[in-house]
């Protein structure tokens, strides 16, 4: 394993963004290892953050994101009330509560509730004002690896980074913000 793969995932994500010439991106994730480190050390790289079914949220790690944060939560389950209370403590954050839904380790709400989650994400992205630092990209489609992270670029518009599960998440049209993505998965140490 190379030295770069020994770095924490947030440092490797920053290397990837720098390699691609991206100052800010739209991110989506589920587990804290997807986003917590990056939100803590570099909240300025987030154009937005969408969390789908997080087991927990520490408002201290997301307080700088406020209106750039969307949390998709289930109405049921052990974590539902805890996540809702955490989101309520983050000024400006948006919460979508899915009725009759519990996010369990083996559940796939993205597959089960694609239309509902997709519509909420597209609405949220439309309301999220791009900052002066966000630039629209029209790169040629390409794939590669940097800092132990494999990436695939397709589409045009504001960049977004999503965990691997989102590749099967058909939202919007090819030119909608949700389809303008830098898909990634990380390998090595989290």
Domains of the chain are 3-186 (3.40.50)
pLDDT in tens, 104-138: 878 888 888 999 999 999 999 888 865 544 555 55
Record the pTM. Answer: 0.77
- Reported as a pLDDT band with limits 50, 70 and 90, residue 188 is very low
Please count the CA atoms within 13 angstroms of the CA of 130 that sit on its side-chain side.
15
pLDDT in tens, 122-180: 999 888 865 544 555 556 778 899 999 888 887 776 666 554 433 333 333 334 333 33
Give me the phi and psi of 17, to 5 degrees please: -60, -45
Q: What is the pLDDT of residue 92?
A: 93
The 3-state DSSP class for residue 117 equals helix
Average pLDDT, stretch 83-90?
Answer: 94
Residues whose CB falls within 8 Å of the CB of residue 121, separated by 6 or more in sequence, listed in order:
28, 50, 70, 171, 178
Give me the phi and psi of 78, to 5 degrees please: -60, -35
pLDDT in tens, 36-51: 899 999 999 999 999 9
**In sequence order, what DSSP letters do the residues of 157-185 get, joined into one string?**
BS-EEE-GGGGG---S-TTSGGGSEEEEE
């Amino acid at each position: 394993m190379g030295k770069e793969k020994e770095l924490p995932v947030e440092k490797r994500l920053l290397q990837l963004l720098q390699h691609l010439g991206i100052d800010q991106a739209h991110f989506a994730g589920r587990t804290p290892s997807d986003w917590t480190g990056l939100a803590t050390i570099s909240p300025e790289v987030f154009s937005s953050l969408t969390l789908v079914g997080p087991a927990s949220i520490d408002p201290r790690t997301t307080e700088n994101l406020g209106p750039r944060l969307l949390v998709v939560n289930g109405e049921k389950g052990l974590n539902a009330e805890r996540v809702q209370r955490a989101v309520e403590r983050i000024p400006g954050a948006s919460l979508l509560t899915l009725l009759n839904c519990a996010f369990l380790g083996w559940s796939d709400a993205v597959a089960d509730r694609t239309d509902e989650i997709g519509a909420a994400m597209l609405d949220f992205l439309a309301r999220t004002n791009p900052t002066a630092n966000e630039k629209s990209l029209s790169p040629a489609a390409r794939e590669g690896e940097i800092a132990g992270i494999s990436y695939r670029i397709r589409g045009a518009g504001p960049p977004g980074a999503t965990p691997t599960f989102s590749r099967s998440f058909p939202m919007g049209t090819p030119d909608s913000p949700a389809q303008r993505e830098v898909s990634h998965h990380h390998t090595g140490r989290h």
